Amino acid sequence: MYGGGTIFESKGYRDLSQEDPEKLEAFQARIDRGEKIEPTDWMPEMYRKQLIRMIEQHAHSEIIGALPEGTWITRAPGFRRKLAQMAKVQDEVGHAQLLYSAAETLGKSREEMINDLINGKSKYSNIFNYPAFTWADSNVISWLVDAGAIVNQMANAKGSYGPYCRALDRICAEESFHLKYGHDAVVHLATGSPVQRKMLQEALNRWWPPLMHFFGPSDKISVHTEQLMRWKVKMATNDDIRQQFLDMYVPKIWELGLTLPDPNLKKNPETGLWEMTEPDWEEFKRVINGDGPCNKERLAVRKAAEEKGAWVRRALLSPKAQYVQPLA
């Protein structure tokens, strides 16, 4: 449905009906008891493949996600903001390292994952295919995209696959710091001059629709949620996480006197749920399948980094590298 070769189209993997029913039952029982599954434990091939898909996409999102904020390091207003922006971007790349390592425990090498990213075979988060025109765009990412990521990751850190959960725990600790950094930067603009407030409001208007997409398609059309929740890879549905985010952050946005570009956004006092204009899922599909405003640029930057860094990898892997003596 979403194109780009979903996991169910590829050959050579056993589907659940081909697995040993007894092993499958015991596996599900472990998950139901809340046990963690570790890399050397038996697991159905679809569980393995789903985890590789999700963790790999998450890792790519961190590495590509470093780019929109990364472009603002050289133009950050002031030395302190520059230092903080640089540290934040570096953290995101570190998250990718943790996640690639977690995905590698499932049998796909880092080289394959990076190649699949560069060749457009693997997906990464929709949101990083939009441009960060102004410093305020970068601040909105640091605050609200990180906030959205935390809501998702705090839930899934309690999931079933040990290496992914442990990586998420570490990532969330750093993301909470990013969130504070982003909030501080947003408050600075919100309480600044009329020009700063206008710049912030315009950035918020730009990022809101992709942010609503960030949590994934609505539960009515999500493909993987049901099985992933049975396996406790996902601990909440896309709509649940979107609702939690709205609950936590819409009041904070309104508190700053900012508005959101959706006239239908309101909390229904009877259901306790946020109502909103249905996100444009056609745009979402286009963007995640390679046709967003910055997809080509993002992958080109990533590809250039890969090519420029080839000599470093060659040098490190060279047999001569092991003879290099550490400095006394």
- Sketch the per residue contact string, 116 through 155, with ligand BYC: x for CB under 6 A, - otherwise: -------x-xx--------------x---xx--x--x---
Asked if 164 contacts 153 with a C-beta cutoff of 8 angstroms, the reply is no
**HEC sequence for 48-101:** HHHHHHHHHHHHHHHHHHHHHHHCCCCCCCCHHHHHHHHHHHHHHHHHHHHHHH
Q: Strand, coil or helix: what is 275? A: strand
Q: Is 288 near ligand BYC (CB under 6 A)? A: yes
Q: Which is nearer to ligand BYC, 189 or 233 (CB)?
A: 233
Single-letter amino acid code for the residue at 92:
E
- Using the rule CB under 6 A, give the single segment among 194-202, 223-231, 259-267, 308-316 that binds ligand BYC: 223-231
Comparing CA positions, the residue from 151, 150, 128, 141 lying closest to residue 181 is 141
Among 97, 134, 196, 222, binds ligand BYC (CB under 6 A): 222
Separation of CA 172 from chain center: 12
Q: Is 163 near ligand BYC (CB under 6 A)? A: no
Segment 2 to 21, residues that bind ligand BYC, using CB under 6 A: 2, 4, 6
What is the nearest approach in angstroms of ligand BYC to the Cβ of residue 46?
A: 13
Among 138, 201, 238, 243, binds ligand BYC (CB under 6 A): 238
Q: Is 244 near ligand BYC (CB under 6 A)? A: no
- The token duo for 271 is 């259901």
Q: Is 235 near ligand BYC (CB under 6 A)? A: no
One-character DSSP codes across 237-254: -HHHHHHHHHHHHHHHHH
What is the nearest approach in angstroms of ligand BYC to the Cβ of residue 53?
A: 5
Residues 6 or more apart whose CB falls under 8 angstroms from that of 310 comprise none
- Using the rule CB under 6 A, give the single segment among 62-70, 198-206, 251-259, 300-308 that binds ligand BYC: 62-70
Helices (H), the chain: 21-32, 45-70, 79-104, 110-118, 135-140, 146-156, 162-190, 194-214, 225-230, 238-255, 281-288, 295-308, 310-317
Q: Which is nearer to ligand BYC, 181 or 214 (CB)?
A: 214
Q: Is 206 near ligand BYC (CB under 6 A)? A: no
Q: Which is nearer to ligand BYC, 66 or 165 (CB)?
A: 66
Q: Which is nearer to ligand BYC, 2 or 177 (CB)?
A: 2
Segment 82 to 111, residues that bind ligand BYC, using CB under 6 A: 92
Q: Is 177 near ligand BYC (CB under 6 A)? A: no
Residues 6 or more apart whose CB falls under 8 angstroms from that of 83 comprise none
Asked if 131 contacts 293 with a C-beta cutoff of 8 angstroms, the reply is yes
Comparing CA positions, the residue from 148, 129, 145 lying closest to residue 286 is 129
Among 157, 228, 276, 294, binds ligand BYC (CB under 6 A): 228
What is the nearest approach in angstroms of ligand BYC to the Cβ of residue 241?
A: 7
Comparing CA positions, the residue from 6, 212, 293 lying closest to residue 123 is 6
- Using the rule CB under 6 A, give the single segment among 35-43, 190-198, 208-216, 315-323 that binds ligand BYC: 208-216
What is the nearest approach in angstroms of ligand BYC to the Cβ of residue 223?
A: 4
- Using the rule CB under 6 A, give the single segment among 21-29, 53-61, 111-119, 184-192 that binds ligand BYC: 53-61
Distances from the Cα of 108 to the Cαs of 13, 98, 105, 117, 320, in angstroms? Answer: 14, 14, 8, 13, 27
Contacting residues toward ligand BYC, per CB under 6 A: 2, 4, 6, 53-54, 57-58, 61-62, 65-66, 92, 123, 125-126, 141, 145-146, 149, 152, 213-214, 216-217, 222-225, 228, 234, 238, 288
